[in-house]
Amino acid sequence: MERLLIRGARVIDPSCGYDRSADILIENSAIAALGEMDAADAAVLDAAGWIAAPGLVDLHVHLRDPGQTQKEDLLSGCRAAAAGGVTSLFCMPNTTPALDDPALIADLSARATSASARVYPVAAATKGLRGETLTDFAALKAAGAAAFSDDGRPVLTADLMERALKAAAVVGLPLFAHSEELTLTRGGLMNEGAVSEELGVPGVTRAAEEVGTAREIALCAATGCPVHICHVSTRGSVEMIRAAQAAGVPVTGETAPHYIALTDECLRSLDADYRMSPPLRTSDDREAVIEGLLDGTLSAIATDHAPHTPAEKAEFAKAPNGAIGMETSLAVCLTTLVHTGRWDLLSLLRAMSTAPAALAGIPAGTLQVGAPADIVLFDQQEEWTVDPDRLHGKSKNTPFKGMTLKGRVKATILGGKIVYRAEG
Ligand SMILES: [Zn+2]
C-alpha cells in the first residue's frame, strides 16, 4: 500500500468548516485519516507553515486541445493547473474541431488519464459552436462530457438556448453560459467608458454582457432549468443574478480573478495581454463583483485560462481575446481579497474548490476521509513576482506579469501523488 503523510499543515476544509493544525494520512489515492498521527512506514511531506486545502476546482479553462496546441495542450495546461493548485478543471469546447462529437470527448478523456489534473470536458451545446443545431447531449454525456457550453460565444439564439437548457436538465449536467449579445460587441477592444474614450479605442458596452445575462435568466426562470453564468464582469450582471436568486430562479454565477483584481485602467498600456472577453471593467464593476462573491451571489471563482502565443498577442488591435490564469489565481485572490481583510480564507477556498465542485456535481472540494486525495499546499505569506517566463503552460499572456503577489502554491497532490512542488 502507498502511504503519504502530510505533516503539520494548517488544514482547512470548507466542505465541513474544519480549520486546525493536523496531519493528513493518504493511503493509495484517498484521504485515510486527519489528526495527529505517526505512520512509520509512510513517506512524509513536511508542511509546517503551510495551509492544506482541497485541490482547486476550475470551471472555466481553455486547453486548446485538439487543434490549437501551439497555444496550449492537454498536458501543458494540466502542468499549469498543478502549479496553481488546480486539481480538477473543466475544458471548453472551442477547439479545432469543436468538442461536439462523442469520439472527441472520449479521446480527450482517454489522453487525460496521464495528465497532472483531472480533466472534465465541456461539450459544445451546438454543432461546431455554430448556433444552428443542438448536439446530442445524451451521447456526449455517455462519452464523458461533464457540462455543455458554446463558450467563446453565446448560444446564438434564445430559442436554441431554451432547448439547450432543457436538454442539459434532462441529462442532469450543467449549462455554462457565455453571456453576450454579439450585435452589441461591434468589434470593441476594451470596456466602453472614460478610459476607452480617452484612448480613442473602440469599446464594448456593459450592455453586451447584460443583455446576454438577462436572456439567460429569463429562459432559466421560464423553464425552471438551471443555468450557470460564466465570467461575470459587470455590476448589472451581478445585480440581475442576485435578484433572480432571491426570486428562486436556479441561476448561479462565477467570476474570474482578473475582474476582482484589475480594471480597464490596465488598457492604457495598449498591451493585448489585458484584452479579454468580457473586457476588464471599471472600479465600480470590480467592487460589485467582489460584493457578489462576499454575499454568495457569485458562488465560484474560475480562471477563464485562455492561452495565446506571444505572436498572436503582439499587436493590440489584432490580438485574440483572453488571458492565462491558473498559475496565479489563488495568489491573486489571496492578495486582493484575504490579505486586504475583505474576505476570510475559508470562504475564498470554498469559492475555489467546494462550491464549484458541488455546482458541477463532481467528487472534489473536500478533505473528508475517503475522498480522493486532491490537495493544494500553499504558503499564505510568501511573496513572489509573476514572471511569464517561469510559468508552466505554453503561453505567457498573463495580465498579472510583474505584479508581486502574496501567497504561493508549494505543492499539489492529485490522487495521493505529488504532481507539483515549488522550486526552493
Ligand atoms: Zn466565455
Q: Provide the 3-class DSSP secondary structure of residue 75.
A: helix
Q: Can 304 be counted among the known catalytic residues?
A: yes
Q: State in Å: Cα 237 to ligand 1 middle.
A: 14
Task: Write out pLDDT tens, residues 245-276.
Answer: 999 999 999 999 999 999 999 999 999 999 99
Clarify whether residues 173 and 44 are in a common domain: no
Q: Is 296 left (phi over 0), alpha (psi -120 to 50) or beta?
A: left
* Torsion of Cα atoms, 78 then 80 then 81 then 82, to 10°: 90
198 part of a folded domain: yes
Domain tally, the chain = 2
| Residue 39 pLDDT > 90 | no
Q: Provide the 3-class DSSP secondary structure of residue 212.
A: helix
Cell 498577442 belongs to residue: 313
pLDDT band with cut points at 50, 70 and 90 for residue 424: low
Of 307, 326, 360, the residue that ends a domain is: 360
3-state helix, strand, coil in the chain (%, to 5): 35, 25, 40
Clarify whether residues 143 and 190 are in a common domain: yes
pLDDT band with cut points at 50, 70 and 90 for residue 423: confident
CA distance 214 to 270: 31
- CATH code of the domain in which 402 resides: 2.30.40.10
CA distance 208 to 1: 55
Clarify whether residues 96 and 10 are in a common domain: no
Clarify whether residues 353 and 381 are in a common domain: no
**Between residues 197 and 38, the one the model is more confident about:** 197
Q: State in Å: Cα 13 to ligand 1 middle.
A: 29
366 part of a folded domain: no
Mean pLDDT of 351-362: 98
Residues 6+ apart with CB under 8 A from 213: 179, 229, 232, 236, 237, 240, 241
39 part of a folded domain: yes
188 part of a folded domain: yes
Q: Are 44 and 5 in contact (CB under 8 A)?
A: yes
CA distance 413 to 4: 10
Average pLDDT score, the chain? 97
Q: State in Å: Cα 30 to ligand 1 middle.
A: 34
Q: State in Å: Cα 216 to ligand 1 middle.
A: 14
Mean pLDDT of 81-99: 98
Q: State in Å: Cα 6 to ligand 1 middle.
A: 37
321 part of a folded domain: yes
Q: Are 120 and 63 in contact (CB under 8 A)?
A: no
Clarify whether residues 313 and 326 are in a common domain: yes
Mean pLDDT of 3-22: 97
Q: Can you say how many angstroms the Cα of residue 376 is from the centroid of all Cα atoms in its chain?
A: 15
Please report, rounded to a whole number, the percentage of residues in the chain having pLDDT higher than 70: 100
280 part of a folded domain: yes
DSSP bridge partners of 253: 229
**Nearest alpha carbon to residue 307 among 319, 298, 316:** 319
Clarify whether residues 169 and 39 are in a common domain: no
Q: Provide the 3-class DSSP secondary structure of residue 111.
A: helix
| Residue 131 pLDDT > 90 | yes
Please report, rounded to a whole number, the percentage of residues in the chain having pLDDT higher than 90: 98
Q: State in Å: Cα 38 to ligand 1 middle.
A: 47
Of 310, 335, 360, the residue that ends a domain is: 360
Q: State in Å: Cα 407 to ligand 1 middle.
A: 27
**Alpha helices in 40-157, H assignment, sequence order:** 74-83, 102-111, 137-143
367 part of a folded domain: no
Q: State in Å: Cα 367 to ligand 1 middle.
A: 30
pLDDT value of position 38: 83
Task: Write out pLDDT tens, residues 277-316.
Answer: 999 999 999 999 999 999 999 999 999 999 999 999 999 9
Domain range for residue 399? 3-51+372-421
Strand segments, DSSP code E, in 49-164 are 51-54, 56-61, 86-91, 118-124, 147-149
Q: State in Å: Cα 322 to ligand 1 middle.
A: 9
- CATH code of the domain in which 319 resides: 3.20.20.140
Mean pLDDT of 188-212: 98
Phi, psi of 242 (to 5 degrees): -60, -45
Mean pLDDT of 337-356: 98
pLDDT value of position 294: 98
Phi, psi of 268 (to 5 degrees): -60, -25
Task: Write out pLDDT tens, residues 158-169.
Answer: 999 999 999 999
Clarify whether residues 65 and 137 are in a common domain: yes
Q: State in Å: Cα 62 to ligand 1 middle.
A: 10
C-alpha cell at 138: 445524451
Of 319, 337, 360, the residue that ends a domain is: 360
Q: State in Å: Cα 177 to ligand 1 middle.
A: 8
Q: State in Å: Cα 370 to ligand 1 middle.
A: 35
Residues 6+ apart with CB under 8 A from 134: 125, 126, 127, 160, 163, 164, 167
Clarify whether residues 415 and 300 are in a common domain: no
Q: Provide the 3-class DSSP secondary structure of residue 84.
A: coil
Q: State in Å: Cα 230 to ligand 1 middle.
A: 6
Q: Give me the catalytic one of 304, 344, 374, 389.
A: 304
Clarify whether residues 144 and 187 are in a common domain: yes
Q: How many CA atoms lie within 13 A of 358 on its CB side?
A: 13
| Residue 40 pLDDT > 90 | no
For strand 3-13 and strand 51-54, is the pairing parallel, antiparallel, or unpaired?
parallel
Clarify whether residues 65 and 45 are in a common domain: no
Clarify whether residues 89 and 13 are in a common domain: no
pTM of the model: 0.98
123 part of a folded domain: yes
H or E segment and range at residue 60? strand 56-61
Clarify whether residues 141 and 72 are in a common domain: yes
Q: Can you say how many angstroms the Cα of residue 86 is from the centroid of all Cα atoms in its chain?
A: 9
CA distance 356 to 88: 10
